[in-house]
Amino acid sequence: MTHSDLAQPLREFKPTKEFFVGIDSDGCAFDTMGIKQRECFCPCMIGYFGLQPVALAARECKEFADLFSRTRGANRHKTIVRILTELLPSHPVVKKRKFQVPRFPHYCAWVNDPDSLLSNDGLKKAIDSADTNGARKELQNALQWSLHVNELVAAIVRDIPPFLFVRESLEKMYDLADICVVSATPGEALKREWAEHDIAKYTHIIAGQEMGTKKEHLALATGGKYQADHVLMIGDAPGDMKAAKENDILFYPINPGDEEKSWERFYREAFDRFISGQYAGPYEQKLIAEFDEYLPENPPWKK
């Protein structure tokens, strides 16, 4: 099944309300980013990409890239390439030990190709079409890493409830807005987490990485179907904001480290402003300026 086929539910979606709200999942609705990165993604990255001699430095890079920087919430493959080619080579421990960070040129080329579907299905297609053993080996390694991560997430990440005021916000929105999960997480994990906590019932569609990028999710679900100022994306990462702005829709930030305060503000104030047409402009700009201060571009060791 192709990416286009998998995205068909978004393409065929018809509005049932006047307003639309897209919500990211990991780190936004659920406090799952920390445990996923530290206990699932990072140990596998160290093992599959040969980073054992500088494991602590690799962990520091992973946490910065995925939790505390402007690439927070980015696609898993994009982050790996950033770590291997940018962050880890510049880390003082790596330099001191003269460690040569392994190079994966075929995998990096696949990740950096704008036509690549950065998912497990996309990797499988790339493996099938690889024209050298070296390329095939690198892509298979990346696929095994990604599959192992998913297995660990399924085994480890459970019983983590949504942030306070998420459920209350969903209940408040439900009668006034169509709600869609907009995420780069695999769809199977998303459906499991939202169903586990009995909040999937508030959503119309749960869109994961198999359906495309967040930008594509929003374009397919809302393009030409709502007034621009009647569509809002809620997210905790710059990529969420970028997806919103590329679709000319509004953005509400969930500030990393202050998630519950952000959701309470949404529940008590921001959603009402959105519905009443008082969200766009100075109010949204103030929230975005505040959000930008939470996520630096450069790691501490580069200062």
Which domains occur in the chain, in start order?
Answer: 3-31+162-292 (3.40.50.1000), 33-156 (no CATH)
Confidence of residue 104 (pLDDT cuts 50, 70, 90): very high
Q: What predicted TM-score, i.e. pTM, was given to this entire model?
A: 0.80
Predicted local confidence at residue 202, as pLDDT? 98
Residue 180 has pLDDT above 50, yes or no: yes
Reported as a single tens digit per residue, the pLDDT across 26-71 is 999 999 899 999 999 999 999 999 999 999 999 999 999 999 898 9
Task: Work out the number of other CB atoms within 10 angstroms of the CB of residue 247.
Answer: 22
Residue 160 has pLDDT above 80, yes or no: yes
As a whole number, mean pLDDT of residues 96-108 equals 97
Confidence of residue 4 (pLDDT cuts 50, 70, 90): low
Pick from 183, 156, 135: nearest CA to 26:
183
Predicted local confidence at residue 61, as pLDDT? 98
Predicted local confidence at residue 3, as pLDDT? 57
Predicted local confidence at residue 2, as pLDDT? 47
Predicted local confidence at residue 38, as pLDDT? 95
| 128 alpha-carbon distance from chain centroid | 27
> What does the alpha-carbon distance between residue 161 and residue 259 come to, in Å, rounded to a whole number?
13
Predicted local confidence at residue 1, as pLDDT? 44
Predicted local confidence at residue 158, as pLDDT? 84
Residue 303 has pLDDT above 80, yes or no: no
Reported as a single tens digit per residue, the pLDDT across 217-274 is 999 999 999 998 999 999 999 999 999 999 999 999 999 989 999 999 999 999 999 9
Predicted local confidence at residue 268, as pLDDT? 98
Residue 209 has pLDDT above 90, yes or no: no
Count the residues in the chain.
Answer: 303
Q: What is the mean pLDDT of the chain?
A: 94
Residue with tokens 């990604």: 146
User: How does DSSP assign 66-122, residue by residue?
Assistant: HHSSTTTT--HHHHHHHIIIIIHHH-HHHHHHT--PPP-HHHHHHHH-TT---SHHH
